[in-house]
Structure formats: C-alpha cells, structure tokens
Amino acid sequence: MAPAFLKEKAIHGAVGVLTYLILSALLVFILAPMVFMLTASFMPARDIISMPYPWVPKGWYGHNFVKAIAGNDRTYLFFRSFWNSMVVAVAITISTIMIASLTGYSLSKFSFRGRDLVFMIIMATMMIPFEAIMIPLQVVSTQLKLTNTYAGLILPFLVDAFGIFLMRQYFITFPDEFIDAARVDGMTEFSIYRKILLPNSGPAIATLAILTFRNQWDNLMWPLLVVQSERMKTLTLYIMKFTGDINSDEGSQMAVSLLASIPMVLMFFSLSKYFISGSAVFSARKG
C-alpha cells in the first residue's frame, strides 16, 4: 500500500509542477509584449533595434513621449482624439449597462408570450459579423448627417446582444422572493430594478463595463468610416496616422501606445475584484 500511495503522490506532484511550468510560460508569453512596450517607450530608437534587446533602459528617455504628444504640432490633436475616445467609450458603456440590465431584467423575471423567441432573436444577432452591416450603417449615418459627430460614433453601439445575455444570465438566478416581497410592499418595477437588482449586480456590471469600454476604446473600423474631420478623430485613428508618419520611430510609437493603454489599465485594476468574481459567477451559471 505504501509504495502505491507514494507513487500516486509523486504523480500528483509532477502534474502540479508541470502545470505551474505551463502557466509560467503562458504568463511570460502574455507579459513580454507589455514589458517591451513599457521599456521601449523610454529608449531611443537605436537601443530598441539593438540585439540582444536591452530589457532594462539605460536611462529614462522622455523625448519619445514629447514626440508622441507634440510631434509635428500634434499636441491639440492628441488630446482632442483622446477626449473623443473617452466620450464615446464612456457614453456607450453607460448606455449598454442601462439598456442591457433593463432588458435582462425583463427577459429573466417577467413572463410574457414570446419571451423566449425575443431572446433567441437577440442572440441570433450575435452571429452577424459587424463587417456585414458596417456599409449599410455607414450609408444610413451619411443620410442622417451623422458623420463627424459624436452621435454617429455612439448610436450604432448603444447596446449589444452579449450585454443582454450576460445580464440575463446574472439576473436569472436572483432570488424571486426578494422581488415578490418588494412588489407586495408596493414598489414599482423600476424601483425594484434600481434599488434591489442594480446594487446587487456589481460583478456583472463591472464585467460588462470593462468589456464594453475595451471594445469601444480599441474600435478602429467604425471611426474610420464615419469620421473625416481631424477634430472628431478618435485615438485609434490618431495612432494609425502617427505610426504611418515617416517622422515617427519605434520609441515614439511605443510611447503613444503606452499612453493610449493607461485608461484601460486603470479601469481594469479599479474593477478587477468585481470582474474576476463576475467571471466566476458567470462560468458557474453557464455550467
């Protein structure tokens, strides 16, 4: 018995070590580009292209950030495009949370004819790639004179099917007893939604907020179609133009990429606790 027990323990130990090695390799693979972006943004171009690559900068070369922001008289355009991206991403994130949570509440806690059909139709829209509808959307936006406006950048993304699915799945196991008790006390449905459901939906809301903000912060295709004015260009368009400029080098390109990633990093770390718990709850419910 003892040898068999020791053999089984040794196997479990080997599997544990192998698991840690694989996870460590994946962590290095994921973090290496981020560390490269961070270190290269503080190096002159000659150090970046040197081999082997010096992962620790010899000094803090701040000219890359000056060039990324103010190079070729772009100071106003950088901050303007940063502001445009922030306005669009925040507006779409707020609207998605509100509409998706309201829709998820109705699809999970109300019984009405055709409810499941409505939900299936909403889910079916997830199968349609954005590339299939972007040209009709662009034509409609042009006809409605929404090009070069915040409305043109925001309206097509006010809510998405995944947000509705996420909120429905989170609400569907919320105890009905609390909602029934609130109705008996005379609370309206909107009051139940605002005072009971939303305060207890932090993980789902944080998860949806992070995913939505990230998608819109990184959005390039739609602004490329509906924005021609320099004043209304988003940060992704600014980066695309900056990296294509013959006067930009590897260091300034990494610097502008680092500046563009700051809001997303700050948002993730501020909501990471809720995001991780929301992902765990969603996975459990999905299972």
Is 143 contained in some domain? yes
Residue 58 pLDDT grade (very low, low, confident, very high; cuts 50, 70, 90):
confident
Single out the residue of 252, 265, 157, 150 nearest to residue 241, CA to CA.
252
What pTM, to 2 d.p., does this model score?
Answer: 0.83
CA distances from 239 to 235, 243, 244, 272 (A): 6, 6, 8, 27
Q: Are residues 89 and 11 in the same domain?
A: no
Contacts of 2 (CB under 8 A, 6+ apart): none
pLDDT tens for 90-111 read: 999 999 999 999 999 999 888 8
Question: For 139-147, what is the mean pLDDT?
Answer: 91
Q: Are residues 28 and 78 in the same domain?
A: no
- How many of the other CB atoms lie within 10 Å of CB of 113? 7
Is 47 contained in some domain? no
Spatial distance between the Cα atoms of 105 and 171, rounded to a whole number of angstroms: 6
Length of the chain in terms of residues written: 287
Q: Are residues 30 and 96 in the same domain?
A: no
Is 257 contained in some domain? yes
Kindly tell me the number of DSSP H helices and DSSP E strands found in the chain: 14, 0
Q: Are residues 85 and 153 in the same domain?
A: yes
Query: Looking at residue 1, what is its pLDDT?
Result: 47
Is 52 contained in some domain? no
Query: Looking at residue 53, what is its pLDDT?
Result: 74
Single out the residue of 106, 85, 95, 92 nearest to residue 220, CA to CA.
85
Question: For 137-157, what is the mean pLDDT?
Answer: 92
Is 65 contained in some domain? no
Q: Are residues 131 and 13 in the same domain?
A: no
Is 48 contained in some domain? no
Q: Are residues 84 and 18 in the same domain?
A: no
* pLDDT at residue 11 greater than cutoff 90: no
Is 51 contained in some domain? no
Spatial distance between the Cα atoms of 238 and 263, rounded to a whole number of angstroms: 16
Please give the angle made by the CA atoms of 116, 119 and 123, to the nearest 5 degrees: 135
Query: Looking at residue 277, what is its pLDDT?
Result: 60
Residue 287 pLDDT grade (very low, low, confident, very high; cuts 50, 70, 90):
very low
Q: Are 236 and 257 in contact (CB under 8 A)?
A: no
Question: For 49-76, what is the mean pLDDT?
Answer: 75
Query: Looking at residue 268, what is its pLDDT?
Result: 81
Q: Are residues 181 and 90 in the same domain?
A: yes
Domain, as residue range, for 118: 73-286
pLDDT tens for 26-46 read: 888 888 888 888 888 888 877
Q: Are residues 152 and 12 in the same domain?
A: no
Contacts of 153 (CB under 8 A, 6+ apart): 84, 88, 222, 223, 226, 227, 232, 234
* pLDDT at residue 19 greater than cutoff 90: no
274 against 285, higher pLDDT: 274
Q: Are residues 187 and 135 in the same domain?
A: yes
Alpha-carbon Rg for the chain in angstroms: 24
Q: Are residues 149 and 221 in the same domain?
A: yes
pLDDT tens for 159-201 read: 899 999 999 988 988 888 888 888 888 888 888 888 888 888 8
Query: Looking at residue 110, what is its pLDDT?
Result: 87
Is 53 contained in some domain? no
Question: For 38-61, what is the mean pLDDT?
Answer: 80
Spatial distance between the Cα atoms of 237 and 78, rounded to a whole number of angstroms: 10
CATH number of the domain that residue 188 is part of: 1.10.3720.10
Helix, strand or coil, per DSSP, at residue 190: helix
Query: Looking at residue 94, what is its pLDDT?
Result: 95
Q: Are residues 35 and 82 in the same domain?
A: no
Domain count, the chain: 2
Please give the mean pLDDT across all residues of the chain: 84
Question: For 69-76, what is the mean pLDDT?
Answer: 64
Q: Are residues 11 and 109 in the same domain?
A: no
Spatial distance between the Cα atoms of 138 and 155, rounded to a whole number of angstroms: 12
Query: Looking at residue 286, what is its pLDDT?
Result: 47
